[in-house]
Each structure stands twice: as C-alpha cells, then as structure tokens.
Amino acid sequence: MLVFVFRLAYVQLIATHHISKYEIDLVEESIKQRTKKFILHSGRGYFTDRHGHSLHIDYYPSLILFPFLKEGIWPIGKVAKILNVSNEQLMDAVQNSENPILFEENNKRRKLTMDEMKKINDLKIPGVYAQYVQERVENIAPHLIGVVGENHKEVKRRYAAQVENGTISVNSGIGVSGMERSFDPFLISQGHSALAYFVDNLDRPLFGFDVRYSAPADPYHPTEVVTTIDKELQIHVTNALKEAGLINGGAVIIDAKTNDLLSLVSLPTFNINFPFDSGAKNHMVTAYTPGSVFKIVVAAAAIDLNLINKLDLFDCNQNLYGDGEEPRKLGKLTFQESFAQSCNYTFTQLANKLVRQDKLILERYATKLGLVDKVGWIGDVYRLEEVSHFPEEEIGTVIIDEQDIGDKFAIAQTAIGQKNVRVTPLAVANMLATIARGGEKKQVRAASKIKYENGTTVVEFPKQTLENRDKISPYTAMRLQELLRSVVKMEKGTAHSFLKNSPYPIAGKSGTAQKGLTKEEESHWFAGYFPANKPKYVMVIVDLNHQNGNIKTLKAYENIVEYLYKYDNKTKTKD
C-alpha cells in the first residue's frame, strides 16, 4: 500500500507534466479528455505565392455546428433561411455528429458570404457559429514547400527553452522537408485558435451550452512566407507535363533577370500524409547525368582557350571515340553546327585537347557556370546559420580520376555528360540564366520574405550573388548565346522541328543521357531561355523515363512557352 501511495503521489504531484518515458503531460491530456474543441487555425505559418495567393491552405468563413444542438431546441429555421437550405439539411448535419462539425453541401464545405456570416452571428445561437476556419487544400508545390509531421523528441530538441516555458507544445507540428523544414523556427505554432466547451463522462456540456473562444494573445502569429512562385503558372506547368505523358522528372522555371524561382514541379507527386514514399524525392534538386547539356561547359572552355575557328570542320560521321562510324551520320560540320546537331565527336575531341592542357579544366568551367555548387539561396537569418530555400539540394560532380587523364574513352564520356558527371536541373537552369545575363552568377531565390500576421516583415531574403566569383567573360557568354540559339534556329538543330514555331524565339540545349548499370534506360533534358533576344524566362524540363521517338520534354516545353507568351500579352493589355 505504501508503494501505491508513493507512486500515486509521484504521479499526481511531481510527474504531472512528464510521466513515463514518452514524457506525457497528464494535465494537458486531462484537459483534452474533458474538452470538445474545434480548431479554427492551427497557428502554424503558411505559404503564399508572389501575388499573395495561398499555396496549401484556405481560410474562409464557415458554419460550425456543435453536437449538443441535437439535444435542444434552437431556431433552426432562421439559420436555414439565411443559408437558403432546408431545416432537414441542418438537422442531418448534427444528428450523427459526436464532435463539432463544419456544415457541408454536396460533400463540400459551405463557404459563407460576409453577409451570411454577420446574420448568423447576430442570432447569437449557442452552438451555431460562423467563423473563419483554416482548410488544408491540395498543396500545388509539395516538393518546394515540404511537409509537416509530429515528433515530440524533435520538438524538444529544437525548441527546448520554448517547451520548458510553455510557449510551444510538444504536440506542435514541425517541418519535415522543404521550406517547411528550413523556415520551421518562423512557422512553428505559438498556439492554436479554437472554440471549445467542457463535457462530462457522457459527453454532455458541463456548464450549459457555454462555448468559449481561445487563442494566443499574439498579434504576430501565424506568419506568412511569401514565395517567389506564381500559383497559376505552377498549376499550368504541372498539367502540361502530365498532358505530355511525363511521369518521372519535372520542370523548373526561373526569372532570367532576378533569378527568382517561378515554378518547380517534380513528378511523381506524393501524398503529404506519407512524406517518405517514392514520390517524395524532389528531382529538380537531385543530381543526375545530364548528357549533351554538359557540352555547354566544353564549349565555354574551348571558346576561352581559342581552340576553335569558325572555319574548322569536324568529321561527325565518326563516333565519339574517333575509332569507328557513328550510327547517326552528320557529315563534316563546323563548331556551331556540331553544337546545334549535338555531334559527339566534335566535343570529345575538344575535351581531350583541353584536359591535356589542364586536367581540371572541365571541373573549373563547370564551377564558373555554377553547375557543381549549390545554387539555391543560402544565408544567415538572425541567429540561424545557413538557412536554405532548397534544403534537399545536392551538389554536382565532374570527377576525372588520375587514371582517366590521357584515357580518351573516359574523357569522351565526360565530355558528353556521362561517366561521373552529375548535375541538378536547378543548377542547369541557373547556368542558362548566367549565360543569358552575360556571365553574372546569382543564387536562385524561392521566397522574398516572411511576414507577421499584422503585415510587418520578419525577414527579407535579399537577392544574392554566388560566393564563387570565378565566372565566364561577357564575350564567352555572347558566343554561348549564339550556340544555344542555333539549336532551335538551325534547320537541323536538335530542337528545330518542335520549337521552330514557338511564339517566343528559344535558345537552349537538349541532352539524352544513359543511366543505370545496363545503360538501357535513358533520360532526356531540354534546357533553355526565352525570348532568345531579350531573355525573360529560363526553363529546364527533364524526363527521367525517356523513350526514343516520344520526346515529352519538348512537347511540354512548347506548351508552357505558349502559355507564358499569352500570359505576358494579357498582362500588357491590362496595363
């Protein structure tokens, strides 16, 4: 008995907030047990696009009905008249409910007008409330925004002091991936807002029908992350990729002038309730074999070192090693024609010459073009170090082992973006933007600022240049611009047949890469910018399940360019 008495005293007086190894708060759990609560807003920060449109939640007036209404008499007819619905619809809604519910019509939450909201609240009916309520909707940018999960231990690890003083609950959701994870210290809930009432053991109201509103006395939360993406464009890109049949890959679009992210889509998408399934990988920040897109690096180095002449001809009937015939016979081509038609032989010959002069030259030029570094926005924010807009971003690699120097086969594979070459689509987009701007290197920004609930700014994310100042010259950038334009402009260019009639002239480079040990599977890239003469957009599309004859990347590219052209003209008309 003494043991039981001491144990009970310990539980009731000492361990009330942290009983068992799971650190269960008995006080908090007992309140939950005797409370019926309806959460109006979780208190966690949210994300909007550049125009202020929500990307993953909606927040609008809704009708909340409490379950005790079925046991009493209330002016149901007045509410039904305001909503223009039948009495039976309202009664059916509460009849089978054990908890507070949102009134629905046709299995969809009824959105109230401001007039309906005012009229219902003016009736002052206990258990009938018209309030702004948060609703999680389809996250149209899940790979960028990321997901939230619950983990008591992790909450305590990240926010020990706040948990101790009670400003943050161990039950708070925390960021698991994407910007939800990066910005978690600014987003984590400081307390939710709710309607609640106490019940007895039979779930009957303890104090009549007294429903109370509770919310943290904090005018600053929840916060709002203003991203740089465009919601309408994001939706269109997603649909365009699916219409083209692309199921594994994605697209990234950035502003050619500001380097702000406009859209990022990775397919397949994933269920946010299962954040670690196969679709959770963000392909746009994952390093893959780029194929002939890497020829841009070889071209930049060859231009700088004066290895080419406009009159030089390359025998593009030879294979990339120069020891046999190429199945795709192109004849003798100039350097520009070789780039436009993606002749492997030309670039493997140039790469071998370059590496003989400087074994690290391809790695150095990949660095100059921003291909091997992380290119997403990274910086210190208050006491937080290296806050990243793309926390899952991988670095690129262009590895040439010592034993590969002098091995024409190894250098040839590297020259055409195979062997050990790995780059992310985001880095490729950044490279094209660098070229389009004449060599100026910038970080890719995905958010412009974080705002408090009262509209004041918590954090601004300034535009930043890449730390590595080593870059290509304006002359080299100009020559690369000419080469990229020829891929679409020249009649035999690899993208001419698909993109020649585009409303915006396009400059870019295609690439097909073998992948896997058997090298039977391929991926296809198209990286470019437009309009070619006055760059406004940079877009990279990657199909990681490419099949010959079905170039899904170019089909989607054509669709999205046409959409942006119409969008720009519509905007000009409004202005």
Active site members? 292
* Cα–Cα distance for residue pair 221/193, rounded to 1 Å: 11
Tally the C-alpha atoms within 13 A of residue 425's C-alpha that lie toward its C-beta: 32
Residues 261, 446: contact at Cβ < 8 Å? yes
Joined tokens for residue 448: 């412009």
CA 290 to chain centre: 21
**Dihedral (CA of 513, 517, 519, 520) sign:** negative
39 Cβ contact partners less than 8 Å away, ≥ 6 residues apart: 134, 192, 193, 194
* Pairing, β 101-102 against β 104-105: unpaired
Joined tokens for residue 88: 């039976």
* Pairing, β 224-227 against β 46-48: parallel
Joined tokens for residue 135: 């609703």
Query: DSSP for 504-553?
Result: S--EEEEEEEEESSS--EEEEEEEEEESTTS--EEEEEEEEEEBTTB-HH
395 Cβ contact partners less than 8 Å away, ≥ 6 residues apart: 287, 372, 373, 374
Query: DSSP for 360-405?
Result: THHHHHHHHTTSSS--B-EEEETTEEEEESSTTPPPPEE---GGGT
Angle in degrees, CA 436, 355, 430, rounded to 5: 20
Q: Which position has the token pair 């929500």?
A: 54
Residues 418, 241: contact at Cβ < 8 Å? no
Joined tokens for residue 512: 């097909």
The three-state (H, E, C) secondary structure of 52-93, written as one string: CCECCEEEEEEEEECHHHHHCCCCHHHHHHHHCCCHHHHHHH
CA 436 to chain centre: 24
Point out which residues pair with 47 in neighbouring strands: 225
Joined tokens for residue 158: 């990240």
Residues 341, 333: contact at Cβ < 8 Å? yes
